[in-house]
Structure 1
Amino acid sequence: MALPSPSAVKEPDPRWRLYHRSQDAWQAMEADCAAARISIECEMYIFENDALGRRFLRLFWRKAGEGVAVRLLFDSIGSWNIRRSLRLKVLRRRGVSVAFFNPVNGWRALRPASLLPRTHAKVMLIDSRLLHIGGVCIDGRMRRWRDTHIRVLGKVAAEAAASLDHLWRRFIGIPVSRPVENREPLRPEGFRFATSLAGTRKNLIYREVVRHVRGAKVRVRLMTPYFIPGRMLFRLIKQQARRGIQVELIVSEASDVRLADWVALSYFPSLVRAGVHVYRYLPSVMHAKVVMVDDDWATLGSMNLDHLSLFRNREANLLITDRAAVGTLNAQFDADLAQCRLATARELLAVPPLQRLVGRIGRGFKGFL
């Protein structure tokens, strides 16, 4: 029997749309960039120098030639392969602003402390009124990964624009002036743009996750590629499960970071003993970063449930109280469960001793995972 498509759930509201495969999100971003009339802005952790990345760069070059303001901010480590691309020089000559977050050059690369923070955000903003945000990078190897990405019109896009302006002023040192459309944007209720502050422990997204998980009445659902939580969140998840809250966690059967998988595995026996249902996603890498509480709150974006995302990097998420959007995310979670296997206590006890040892030792380096 054919399993349900990760993009099978339909949205009821034309002002927003969810995507659950990377390739579907790329198509939507590309179409919206092609239709841009005022500006295109991109903040991206991984923008790869592959066929997909070059296709987007050609599109940016063409739109800049049409008079569209284009501003690109890439992470200097995540987007390492594109840093010296001649295509960026061509873009700059056409007036495109290109910058790299926290550049790592020369002797700085030998000092681990200089490698952080990173911008781990995945944001595309069109004409200051249409926002793309989620876990999707511009990297062709992620084509078939299971991810979560949303396209939304309205006030939340203006919030993202203000955040990007602040980022360019503070970290890049470039003042900005933003062209604004004359039209009043659509203003859907129920969406809020939120970021963590790179290099600080002031993570609004994390605080909101903790607050809502603590206040859960019926159910908590979590999706993350890498589960290496802070001590407080780890204890809270187990505490809620023991109280009778239904707690479900979906992670990859195998992510793209083997060490992170083994460290995550070291947390699972304690979760299962507490009553948390831990599911391993089978078809592909599970790269979605989503938390849902009951039927009325969710967050999605770039924030993994790991130390780098929770405490070190700049992350960008949407906080969602739109019940239709939360319902759609829950329906997709149900579809994903059909493609998972439940981790059992017996299975976790059978993990090879070396793998368990590496996972436990790896916790000592969780600040870099």
Structure 2
Amino acid sequence: MKNTSARGLARARWVPGNRVSLLENGEEFFPRVFEAVRRAQREVLVETFILYEDKVGTQLHACLCEAARRGVRVDLLVDGFGSPDLSDAFVEEMASAGVRLRVFDPGHSILGQRLNLLRRMHRKIVVVDDACAFVGGINFSADQLLDFGATAKQDYAVELNGPIVQLIHRFAARAVAADKKKAQQGARSHRPAPPERQQEGSGHATGHARAGEAEVCLVTRDNWRHTNDIERHYRVAIRSARQRVVIANAYFFPGYRLIQDMRNAARRGVDVRLILQGEPDIPIVRVAARMLYHHLLLAGVSIFEYCERPMHAKVALTDDCWSTVGSSNLDPLSLALNLEANVVVHDPAFNRALSERLEHMNRNCKRIGAADLDKWSSWRLVRSFVVFHLLRWYPSWIAWLPRHAPRVTPLGR
């Protein structure tokens, strides 16, 4: 059952009649996206944090250029921090083909260091012909493929068909608006109309036939009006859980309230499981997460570290119906700074599919127990005290960081 009891969630509109297909890693994601682009007849919209000029990026490049040459309107938005090194030839070929490439908040490096780290466009969205959409955590880079080797990332996305696609299309189209003034206004006031507002008064999207049984809500976060929507959906789901909560998240350092919701769920008998990185691509990630382990284990939360390769997942499920897949980590960047997009799905069949994939991944995890943690010491007590209060107050003080209106800058001709 859906629960929108948290303040502010009452406005959310759940769109019925959708088909949601889970895609694991680049092996499943890239072929579906590229085939959809090849079939496109009118429009392709792509938002991605990372686009590299490797075998994946060049294949996307070729697909987008081919689509643009046959008359399809193609818009591509990349992040200035995540995709800083696109060559002139790569950009100019897209521009010549008719692809409209824009960069969110481009920045310049100083002594090789990129300084535009904060408030990134971290979403990963593809919409084709207002007919199918892809949302998740997978970037367009070769390290999302298993043949990349030991540092290949474990990750997930979804393909969506049905009425929800119209809302995702409307959101993405505003974000990559061709008019620069409109794009800047959207950055200031989040004019990429939140899906909740787009649906108010209509109940659900129109003009799209039912494609399945899933109810879906697109949930985004920005730095203005929707600063904690994704976190609130997580919290409502955890507080409503009666049997299980499974969270697989790459960068885990959430706020105090979400931690407390997890602890309270475990204490009332819910099977709460965390699957985190055991072989992180950024070493400090594991150090930060482990600061919370004692606090969680004492409440009965089960913690597993995925050790096969870096885990880049941002997925969760509760009980037998609620699931979410998207771009948002449970850390300060995603929860309080970055522009993110998740889909929340109410569908028992999708919940089972995601559960099966996570159970398979869990077999390659190490369960963390008290013996795996550092012994108590004066230093650890001080550190735990600092971390506790950092988690409790960071949503308040992080809002004081600069909230400039990021530029959306066209590249090429």
Instruction: Report TM bin, short chain.
Output: 0.7 to 0.9
- Once the two structures are TM-superposed, the CA of residue 22 in structure 1 deviates from its matched residue by 2.2
Q: Secondary structure at the match of 1:250?
A: strand
Pairwise mapping of residues 1-369 of structure 1 onto structure 2 (< 5 A)?
A: 15-82=19-86, 84-105=87-108, 115-144=117-146, 145-169=153-177, 171-172=183-184, 184-188=208-212, 189-198=214-223, 202-349=227-374
- CA spacing shift, 1:199–1:118, aligned 2, 3 Å: farther
Assess, with a 3 A threshold, how the Cα gap between structure 1 residues 240 and 127 changes in structure 2: closer, same or farther.
same
> How has the CA–CA distance of structure 1 residues 225 and 40 changed in structure 2, closer, same or farther, with 3 Å as cutoff?
same
**2: CA distance, partners of 1:263 / 1:184:** 44
CA distance in structure 1 between the aligned counterparts of 2:18 and 2:380, rounded to whole angstroms: 47
Gaps of 5+ in 2: 1-16, 147-152, 193-206, 402-413
Contact preservation (8 Å) 2:45, 2:173: no
Structure 1: how far apart are the matches of 2:241 and 2:338?
A: 27
Which has the higher mean CA deviation after the structures are superposed, 343-352 or 269-278? 343-352
Shift of the 137–111 alpha-carbon distance from structure 1 to 2, 3 Å rule, reads closer
Rounded Cα–Cα distance in structure 1 between residues aligned with 2:282 and 2:376: 18
RMSD: 3.3
Check the 8 A contact 1:273/1:345 in 2, yes or no. no
Amino acid of the structure 1 residue aligned with 2:130: S
Structure 1: runs of 5 or more not aligned: 1-12, 177-182
Amino acid at match of 2:65: W
Offset of residue 18 of structure 1: 1.1
TM-score where L is the length of structure 1: 0.85
Q: Give 1:116 deviation, angstroms.
A: 2.6
Segments of 4+ in structure 1 off by > 3 A?
13-16, 109-112, 168-176, 183-189, 198-201, 350-368
More deviation in 39-48 or 20-29?
A: 20-29
306 and 62 in structure 1: CA distance in 2 versus 1, 3 angstrom threshold: same
SS in 1 for 2:78: strand
How many percent of aligned residue pairs carry the same amino acid? 24
Q: Are the aligned partners of 1:259 and 1:362 in contact in 2 as well (CA < 8 Å)? A: no
Aligned length: 348
